[in-house]
């Protein structure tokens, strides 16, 4: 059975799913998105992603295209029609279609909504997590509103490409003060040389990762020492462990930064345990 996409109220074969050429998402990146991990066909961290979607839309004065309840039903129907149990669902909401101009059109538009569902191989994912991944640092060059989850991802795409060319899985942006902000599609963490967990605070220009948020709650529950405080690439290399979080990577150990090993150069016990705890929690709370 082929993949099914959702486009503006209709489920259509993925290969026939198209949007208008004057969709403001296409022309101006005037659109936001969310990605939910799927465990056994259920949405992980559902509430958090909905709350961030509403916030991103609010910051851009784009109305919610439908209620949370209706959106949940459509998302779940998209998952069902694709028969995906393990994977992710992508939702994009653009301001809508209008003749090209920069300012928002004065007449309210109907937001354009699309959804796609992807399968992931969780066995391959676990093997990758057991080996760990490498990251490459790149200068921070994004706009100042990385807290809004917009589809304006060109700096992220360029950073990922650079990482890929260097044989790394993720890129870490480093700001003018020399501190890591976050990954191109994940939040960045270390277990520092004192054994304290550290990740950038959300007053910085970063996306408020939902996986990050849930993991902070787990860390609190487990009574592990944690600081929402910046770290440099040198501190990451000198750290005991490093890892990234995101709806795609979940909790993924980082074993090298810029080609230099972190800790023992293999996934550490804290990241490995937090990955297990996160997956357990996400599965139990998925809807």
Least distance (Å) from ligand PMP to the CB of residue 205? 10
Nearest-angstrom CA–CA distance, 181 and 187: 8
Verify binding: residue 168, ligand PMP, rule CB under 6 A: no
Q: Which is nearer to ligand PMP, 97 or 187 (CB)?
A: 187
238-267 footprint of ligand PMP as x/- string (CB under 6 A): -------xxx--------------------
Verify binding: residue 181, ligand PMP, rule CB under 6 A: no
Among 82, 92, 186, 199, interactor with ligand PMP by CB under 6 A: 186
Among 185, 262, 268, 271, interactor with ligand PMP by CB under 6 A: 185
Stretch that binds ligand PMP, among 2-10, 16-24, 208-216, 259-267 (CB under 6 A): 208-216
Kindly report the number of other CB atoms within 10 A of residue 7's CB atom: 16
Among 209, 230, 253, 263, interactor with ligand PMP by CB under 6 A: 209
Q: Are strands 4-7 and 10-13 parallel, antiparallel or unpaired?
A: antiparallel
Least distance (Å) from ligand PMP to the CB of residue 149? 7
What DSSP assignment string belongs to 35-63?
EEEEETTEETTHHHHHHHHHHHHHHTTPP
Least distance (Å) from ligand PMP to the CB of residue 270? 18
What DSSP assignment string belongs to 127-174?
HHHHH-EEEEEEE--S-S-TTS-BS--HHHHHHHHHHHHTT-SEEEEE
- Is residue 246 within 8 Å of 2, Cβ to Cβ? no
How many residues bind to ligand PMP according to rule CB under 6 A?
Answer: 14
27-56 footprint of ligand PMP as x/- string (CB under 6 A): --------x---------------------
Stretch that binds ligand PMP, among 14-22, 24-32, 114-122, 202-210 (CB under 6 A): 202-210
Q: Which residues are tagged catalytic? A: 149
Least distance (Å) from ligand PMP to the CB of residue 269? 22
- Is residue 54 within 8 Å of 62, Cβ to Cβ? no
Start-end of H helices in 190-268: 210-221, 233-237
* 37: Cβ contacts below 8 Å, ≥ 6 apart: 43, 44, 45, 87, 88, 247, 248, 250, 282
Q: Which is nearer to ligand PMP, 11 or 125 (CB)?
A: 125
Q: Which is nearer to ligand PMP, 6 or 173 (CB)?
A: 173
Q: Which two tokens stand for residue 30?
A: 């005037």
Q: Specify the 3-state DSSP secondary structure of 253.
A: strand
Nearest-angstrom CA–CA distance, 231 and 6: 41
Q: Which is nearer to ligand PMP, 134 or 214 (CB)?
A: 214
Site of interaction with ligand PMP (CB under 6 A): 35, 156, 182, 185-187, 207, 209-212, 245-247
């Amino acid at each position: 059975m082929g993949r099914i996409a959702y486009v503006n109220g209709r489920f259509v074969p993925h290969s026939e799913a198209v949007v208008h050429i004057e969709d403001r998402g296409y022309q101006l990146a005037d659109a936001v998105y969310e990605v939910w991990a799927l465990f056994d066909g259920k949405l992980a961290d559902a509430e958090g992603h909905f709350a961030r979607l509403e916030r991103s839309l609010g910051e851009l004065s784009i109305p919610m295209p439908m209620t949370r309840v209706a959106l949940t039903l459509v998302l779940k129907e998209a998952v069902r029609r694709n028969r995906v149990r393990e994977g992710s669902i992508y939702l994009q909401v653009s301001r809508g279609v209008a003749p090209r101009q920069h300012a928002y059109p004065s007449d309210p538009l109907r937001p354009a909504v699309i959804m796609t569902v992807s399968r992931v191989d969780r066995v391959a994912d676990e093997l990758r997590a057991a080996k760990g991944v490498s990251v490459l640092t790149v200068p921070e060059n994004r706009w100042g509103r990385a807290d809004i989850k917009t589809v304006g991802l060109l700096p992220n795409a360029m950073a990922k490409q650079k990482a890929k060319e260097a044989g790394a899985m993720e890129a870490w942006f480093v700001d003018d003060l020399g501190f890591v902000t976050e990954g191109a599609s994940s939040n960045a963490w270390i277990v520092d040389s004192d054994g304290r967990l550290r990740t950038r605070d959300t007053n910085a220009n970063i996306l408020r990762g939902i996986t990050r948020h849930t993991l902070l709650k787990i860390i609190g529950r487990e009574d592990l020492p944690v600081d929402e405080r910046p770290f440099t690439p040198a501190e990451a290399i000198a750290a005991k462990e490093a890892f990234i979080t995101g709806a795609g990577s979940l909790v993924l150990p980082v074993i090298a930064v810029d080609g230099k090993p972190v800790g023992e150069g293999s996934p550490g016990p804290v990241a490995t345990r937090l990955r297990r705890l996160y997956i357990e929690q996400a599965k139990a709370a998925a809807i």
